[in-house]
Amino acid sequence: MRRRVHVVGIGGSGLSAIARVLHERGEIVTGSDQAANALSDALVRDGIPVVIGHRAENVAGADLVLVTSAVRQDNPEVAAARAAGIPVMRRENFLEELTAGLRTIAVAGTHGKTTTSSLIAWILRCAGRQPGYVLGGISPDLVGNAAAGGGSIFVIEADEYDRAFLGLHPSLGLITNVEYDHPDVFPSRLDYRQAFEAFLELIQDRLIVCREDPVAAELARAGLARETYGLSAQADWHAEEIRPNSAGGSDFLAFHAGASLGLMRTRLPGRHNVLNALAAMAAVVDFDIAPPDLRQALTEFRGVQRRFTIAGEAGEVTVIDDYAHHPSEVQATLDAVRGRYPGREVWAVFQPHTYSRLRALAPDFAQAFAGADHVVVTGVFASREQPLPGIDAAWLAGQIAHDDVQPAEALDEAARLVLARLRPPAVVVTLSAGDGNRVGEIVLEALRGK
């Protein structure tokens, strides 16, 4: 008998993906959220009813209610479910059931996990393995952020926020890096690291870590097979002779255990994406994928939406939309812009994401924008948080070590600042995990004369 699973907050990246997998597995899935978005709209098109607004009657007849940590306990749907004796589960508590009986590949890390997990799923799919997957973003190649799959392999982006990844028991665990983040959940850097150490204990068979990251490189567990990847020959998987290619990404020679695997090509810019490609290669090594098939899959992969996405071009100005919202991500993206567009003027428009992150990582943000010629800082995208007095665009602009940095609380004001001084050929990159990409849209509209 099919269950009816009701998902509270179904428009979020994590729960929308789980909802899609359950739907494809034959469960009756319904959901609700405060507002519609692209993810919830896609679910509706695929036959999953989504109600806008949270009301007690939405859970009537449900066998299980799934929620995220962002949903308060006094939410009317949660309260109604508990009153009716309907089990209420948080996402992390459901992950074990979601992946039960499957050979699970879990990709964790502060940065790069969405691209790396998407690339792993893509390689396996190209090789005919029919993997299931749950991703934190949308890949144009995979056509969505989730699929039930048709085999025994399941790829999942292992999210550390609220320690959600501790609900997994993966066969393979991959850790891209461990840099302090989410201070609203992890009060200290030690708390953050300890969450990854706890995740390490849940891995069943094999661990892959990035040797370039000092914390990830230290992670190991007795009795657990472990490999490293990086840009030096000391790593088990490494790259040499990294060069820009005509597709906007990198060509490189790949090596495993000292043996050459030949020339690899990726469309994704930046050295960080060479690392992501190496990680994916290491993750799929046990699936007997022929080297030509692996090379072709790497070459064809187009990335993930909002990860160095070309939003448009007009009048010798290229606008890039990127999800970077952590200092290291900002720096890596700007380095990739410089590598792909040498000699162009670079504008960085940064929308801070959450007050707690901005306050905790301000010293790191201060040094993150050296790759830009001009920096515009917008108001904070609060997400789940309340404002902190004195923490705003002007405050951060005053912290950033740069000769040309300007605050602009409103997004349209930020766009006007850019347009007033933009001198083609140039690149405008919006760095935002919120709606800061709207600045790029306004700039493109103005340049196109709309």
The residues assigned a catalytic role are 113-114, 157
Neighbours of 364 (CB within 10 A): 15
The identity of residue 83, as a single letter, is A
Token pair for residue 253? 């020679």
Token pair for residue 214? 């000092």
- H or E segment to which residue 327 belongs: helix 327-340
- H or E segment to which residue 42 belongs: helix 38-45
How far is Cα 334 from Cα 346, in angstroms, rounded to an integer? 8
Q: How many angstroms separate the most distant Cα atoms in the chain? A: 65
Those residues whose C-beta lies under 8 Å from the C-beta of residue 98, and which sit 6 or more positions away, are: 18, 21, 134
SS3 content of the chain, % helix, strand, coil (to 5): 35, 25, 40
- State the alpha helices, DSSP H only, in 185-304: 189-200, 271-283, 291-300
- 358 and 352 in contact (C-beta within 8 Å)? yes
Residue of 76, 82, 87, 90 lying closest to 15 (CA atoms): 90
- CB-based burial label for 264 (10 Å; 0-12, 13-18, 19+): buried
Residue of 111, 160, 116, 110 lying closest to 135 (CA atoms): 116
DSSP string, 416-447: HHHHHH--SSEEEEEE-SSSTTHHHHHHHHHH
Neighbours of 42 (CB within 10 A): 18
Token pair for residue 168? 């997994």
Radius of gyration for the chain, computed over Cα atoms and rounded to the nearest angstrom? 22
- 399 and 365 in contact (C-beta within 8 Å)? yes
Token pair for residue 296? 């072709």
Token pair for residue 245? 């290619």
Residues facing 311 on adjacent strands: none
Cα-flanking dihedrals φ and ψ of residue 400, to 5°?
A: -75, 130
Residues facing 31 on adjacent strands: 7, 50
